[in-house]
Amino acid sequence: MNTILLVEDSESIVMGLKYSLEQEGFRVISAKTTAEAELATNYDLILLDITLPDGNGFDFFKEVKKKEDIPVIFLTARDEEIDIVKGLDLGAEDYIVKPFRVKELISRIKVALRRYNKITSSIIECNGITLDTENMEAKKDGQRIELTSLEFKILLMLFTNKNKLVTREMILNKIWDLAGNFVNDNTLTVYIKRIREKIGDNDGKTIKTIRGVGYKVDEKN
């Protein structure tokens, strides 16, 4: 799983982009300032705003490049040609102006990672079930499981947080984001029931219910 450092001070952008990237199988570390970003470690690509509360993204970029050769994509509202040229001349992989299309950004991230040979496996595996985030496919013991897009993303959310509690509220918020309308508790219960049936988890041993709170997937040794 590739890790992305997102250096951005807008909370709404961080929340939305973090969710979208995690749904694509990425791990995200977020930082609102260059000071926070300097403390981050073990990441494969940086998404970097230019105007930050404690400094300039261009300056942070230069410091990063002194230490390691890592792909950086500028993600900023500054759309003047002089800034774009400066960013690319410094050695950035890309320069994307806000507002941006999330799917296009994700495609550009994957291209940048491929250039640096940093693409890791898009396969997430747990208890005999594999999720291919690249092709949006699920399999159990090599046999394809027919999941809807929404079912796949709910299961992906549980698998990427395996051994951790995922609350019903967290899942409901994600379903609302995906479906574009309000989804209630009963609807979530139906989705979980369908997923369990399709992955052969009718006894609830893979997707465990934490009564009154949410769900947890424990990885078996």
> What does the pLDDT look like over 95-111, one tens digit per residue?
999 988 998 999 999 88
Q: 72 and 170, same structural domain?
A: no
**Final residue belonging to a domain, choices 97, 115, 133:** 115
Kindly report the CATH number assigned to the domain that includes residue 52: 3.40.50.2300
Q: 76 and 29, same structural domain?
A: yes
Domain count within the chain: 2
Q: Do the beta carbons of residue 148 and residue 106 sit within 8 Å?
A: no
DSSP-assigned letter for residue 44: S
Relative to beta strand 165-167, strand 214-217 is antiparallel
Give yes or no for residue 161 having a pLDDT over 70.
yes
**What order do you get walking across the sheet with 165-167 strand by strand?**
165-167, 214-217, 207-210
d(CA 7, CA 30): 6
pLDDT band at 176 (very low <50, low <70, confident <90, very high): low
Q: 105 and 24, same structural domain?
A: yes
> Across the chain, what does the average pLDDT equal?
88
Q: 134 and 106, same structural domain?
A: no
Q: What are the structure tokens assigned to 29, written together?
A: 């570390």
Q: For the chain, report the end-to-end CA distance as a whole number of angstroms.
A: 20
Q: 206 and 144, same structural domain?
A: yes
* pLDDT tens sequence across 186-207: 888 998 999 999 999 988 889 9
Q: 196 and 163, same structural domain?
A: yes
Kindly report the CATH number assigned to the domain that includes residue 188: 1.10.10.10
Q: 108 and 10, same structural domain?
A: yes
pTM metric for this prediction? 0.60
**Final residue belonging to a domain, choices 83, 115, 147:** 115
Relative to beta strand 45-48, strand 72-76 is parallel
Burial class (CB in 10 A: 0-12, 13-18, 19+), 80: exposed
Q: 142 and 42, same structural domain?
A: no
Domain that holds residue 68: 3-115
Q: Give residue 91's region: left, alpha or beta (phi > 0; psi -120 to 50).
A: left
More confident residue, 136 or 121: 136
Q: 138 and 110, same structural domain?
A: no
* pLDDT tens sequence across 135-148: 788 999 889 999 98
